[in-house]
Amino acid sequence: MGDHTLSFNIILSVTGTFLVRSGILNSVHTFASDPSRGIYILSFLSLMIFSALTIFFIKHKKETYNFNFKSRETFILTNNWFMIFFLATVLIGMLYPIFLDVLTNVKISVGPPFFNIVIIPLVIPLLFLMAIGPKFGWVKSQNKIVKKILFLILGATIINLFIFYFFGKYSLLSNLIFIAAIFLILHSILEIIKFFNKKKKPELPRIVSHLGFGLLVFFIGINHQFSLEMDFNLKAGEIKKINNYEINFEDIKIKDSKNYQAIIGKFKLTNLKNNSVEYLDPEIRIYSNPETLTYEAAIKTKITSDLYLTMSNVSRSDYYNIKFQNKPFMIWIWLSALMIASGGFMYLTSKK
């Protein structure tokens, strides 16, 4: 069964490569796309699908399982169903516009509103099940575990209220997401402490991955709620103040490269709270063959937030359209994903 899942995963990965690299889909991830390359990827994908499916049908044997409802396996299976649901949602969201365009010539775009409505409400039970599931069937005292869960939910609610009160207001659904994510983080931290006190069976890989998942949802939530995004115009020599930032469009220069010409803006960003200064250099690249304009963002990654600046020209004007974004804890989202993956690697390399 594992081999078939692996084939399925690789097929889906190649499908993703085909979608973003062939130009069939307009996505933020679509870069270096080329329809002629798409034909090769599609041929490779077809070959993979049909050979994998043929091998599956030849080798497949019926297996029977003894299914016990009140077991850890039930929770693992339930969480897998959640993951499959998320996968199906993303797949449908990606493929539906393509099918609609090809079959009916109607163009639609699917973006955050669809994914947020379908996925977010189900993340909440998933986070709770991730913490509770591994306990099931192992615990002698059900009362003790219920008390512990209630205590952790109370702790998570208090931390969420602290964030809500001091840093900004957000919706009821977002409150629930934060509580569920903090609950999983606290639960995982307690499990790590238990692991190091050797009071618990060694399950470090799972705990690390679950902690990573809790942190991932938490930081995505924080990032979503507290991101700052502003569009405005500036011409060289002008200054704009946004919240705690002063953006000084100091200069503009033109640089010739091998296959493009770049218009580079020099921006000085001053954080008025602590007077720290950052320099960002977004570019407009003009490629000649074929004639294409691309806008290269200038990104400054810091521990607490990432700063982004892009500029685009306004025809028949000295002004440039500027987009400034301050996205908190961006690096922590990547580190959380790395933590989830490292749990998997720890499991693969651990002695069973």
Partner 1 sequence: MKISISKIIIFSFLIFFLLVFWQGLKKDNSYDTKSLIGSRISNFQLIDINNNGKYISEENLKKNKFTIINFFASWCAPCRSEHKYLLSLSNKKIKLIGINFKDKKINANNFLKELGNPYKFVGKDTDGKISILFGIYGIPESILIDNNLTVIKKIIGPIDQIQYDEILKLIQ
Applying CB under 8 A, which residues contact partner 1?
18, 22-26, 35, 38-39, 42, 45-46, 49-50, 53-54, 57-58, 98-99, 101-103, 109, 111, 231-233, 235, 312, 314-317, 319, 321
Please report how close the Cβ of residue 231 comes to partner 1 at its closest, in angstroms: 5
Q: How far is the CB of 325 from partner 1 (least distance, A)?
A: 13
Q: Which is nearer to partner 1, 25 or 181 (CB)?
A: 25
SS3 letters across 1-40: CHHHHHHHHHHHHHHHHHHHHCCCCCCCCCCCCCHHHHHH
Residue 25 phi/psi, 5-degree rounding, is -125, 135
Query: Which CB sits closer to partner 1, 144 or 235?
Result: 235
Indicate the residue among 30 and 342 with the shorter CB distance to partner 1. 30
Q: Which one, 79 or 321, has the nearer CB to partner 1?
A: 321
Q: State in angstroms the smallest separation of the CB of 39 from partner 1.
A: 7
In order, the DSSP letters of 206-258 are HHHHHHHHHHHHHHHHHHHHH-EEEEEEE-TT-EEEETTEEEEEEEEEEEE-S
**Would you state the structure tokens that stand for residue 76, as one six-digit string?**
């693992």
CB of 268 to partner 1, least distance (A): 20
On whether the CB atoms of residues 131 and 187 are closer than 8 A, the answer is yes
Residue among 15 and 336 whose Cβ is closer to partner 1: 15
Query: How far is C-alpha 92 from the chain's CA centre?
Result: 18
Write down the least CB distance from residue 312 to partner 1, Å: 5
Cβ atoms 21, 38 nearer than 8 A: yes
Query: In angstroms, what is the minimal distance from the CB of 194 to partner 1?
Result: 46
CA distance 258 to 170: 48
Tell me how crowded residue 227 is: count the other CB atoms within 10 A of its CB. Answer: 16
In this complex, which beta carbon is closest to partner 1, that of residue 231 or of residue 250?
Answer: 231
